Structure formats: C-alpha cells, structure tokens
Amino acid sequence: MSNKKTILIFAPHPDDAELAMGGTIAKFIEDGWDVTLADLTNGEPTPAGSIEIREKETAKASEALGIKQRVNLGLPNRYIEETMENRVILAETIREFKPRWVFATFRPDAHPDHIHASRLIEDARFHAKLTKTDMKHEPHHPEKIIYYYATHLNVHPNPSFVVDITDQWEKKEQAICAYQSQFWDNQKDPARKGWIVDMLKNQASYFGDRIGVKYAEPFFCHELVGLASLNSLL
C-alpha cells in the first residue's frame, strides 16, 4: 500500500521539473508530502555546461525547493529511447518509491527526449504492477499520471487544473537561477541572459490571473480529477 502523500516526478533532464512545476514541488514539500525527483539523464553535454557543473546546479536547485530525495537514472541525454530495458529502469523506480501519483512531461513536444520520456513513464506505470517478474521491489501501480508543461513547442496549454504557487514563486525563481549554465552562461547576447525567468513569471502570472491569484502552474491529466472538498476550490 502506497503512502497517500508520496509523489514521484520524472524529469528527462535536470531543470525540466523545476521550470514547469517548481512552485508546486515546493508546495508539496511545505505540505508534508514525500517528494522524489528522478532525473532520467544528467542533461549533458550542453554548450556552457559539464557533468560537474550540472551536478552542482541541480543540488542548488533541489536545496532551493526543499527536495531531499533526488536520483539520476543514468539514461543518455539526447538519446532516450522507448526500450524494454529503459521501461524496466523506470518501473523499478516506481516500485521502489511507491508513489500515489507520478508526474511526467506533457505531449506533444518538440524535444525527442521529452516525447520518449513521457511514453516510457506511461509504459512503466503499467509495467510496475506486474507480478511474476524478476524486477526489483514489490509491484505497485500509481493512481494517476499528471503531466507538467515543459514543452518546447509554442503552444497554449489547455490544463485540467492549475495550482496556486503565489507563496512559492520565490523558491521557484531561486531554483531556476541555479541553472546558470543553461540560461545565463550560454547566452551571447547580454539582453538574453536569464530570459527564462521573465518568460515563466509571465506564464505563471497569466494562469494565476485566470484563477484570481498572483502566480499559478498548469497541469494536465487524462483521468478524471476529483476534489475531496470544495474548500480547496478557488
């Protein structure tokens, strides 16, 4: 039986989850949830990064959000594939941490790693519940997969729900700023350094305005999302 306050977030690369749902991660942790973030790859190579730099940035971002449990699954950056071997790696991760909910990248997307990661997560969710296998840990089936928007396409999200992150925005911004190699050091135009902060702030402000708060993050779920109480409805 899974802990009802346990979630597992899969991210194709370090920084994907922070950019898309950093505020919600911080909110989960503040509310006492057991949060595990599993990066599929180390995100390297990149123009201004290295494995060592990225590890330090990831640790700093985790500290900003309060993440205590973060693992790297060792898949190759730029070459994530929907293989049975990779499915088992993700399924065993699900079986190990036994989350109530799993978070994955939303599709469609322009980044092949994001597309293949999302499909792998869906397959791994089913695979994780199988019995009579040689996989590690006991079978487990998360109740839902919830998708966060880390897409490289210029699309307008049509979310199933949004989360108020007004009180968590500062933590999210600190986490984003940890990735200097990805959004500052790799920009030749000084005016473009740190562009991601303004973009995400504008996006969070838009979705916040839709529900009457300052900042919010959007999410999508194929399955029906219910409310235990109308007290949480904004």
Q: Tell me: the pLDDT tens digits for 133-173? A: 999 999 999 999 999 999 999 889 999 999 999 999 999 99
Task: Give the pLDDT band of residue 196 (cuts 50, 70, 90).
Answer: very high
Who contacts 153 (Cβ-Cβ below 8 Å, separation ≥6)? Answer: 108, 109, 110
| 43 vs 65: CA distance, rounded Å | 19
CB distance 102 to 142 below 8 Å: yes
Top CATH class of 6-225 equals alpha beta
Q: Which of 64, 65, 9, 58 is nearest to 38 (CA)?
A: 9
Who contacts 154 (Cβ-Cβ below 8 Å, separation ≥6)? Answer: none
> Average pLDDT of the chain?
96
Q: Phi-psi region for residue 217, left (φ > 0), alpha (ψ -120 to 50) or beta?
A: beta
Q: Tell me: the pLDDT tens digits for 82-120? A: 999 999 999 999 999 999 999 999 999 999 999 999 999
Question: What does the pLDDT read at residue 232?
Answer: 86
Size of the chain, expressed as the number of residues it contains: 234
Structural domain boundaries in the chain: 6-225
Q: Taking residues 198-213, what's their average pLDDT?
A: 97
CB distance 194 to 183 below 8 Å: yes
Q: Taking residues 163-187, what's their average pLDDT?
A: 98
Question: What does the pLDDT read at residue 26?
Answer: 98
Question: What does the pLDDT read at residue 155?
Answer: 86
Q: Give percent of the chain with pLDDT exceeding 70.
A: 99
Who contacts 164 (Cβ-Cβ below 8 Å, separation ≥6)? Answer: 208, 211, 213, 215, 216, 234
Q: Is the pLDDT of residue 1 over 50?
A: no
| 193 vs 225: CA distance, rounded Å | 38
| 84 vs 87: CA distance, rounded Å | 5
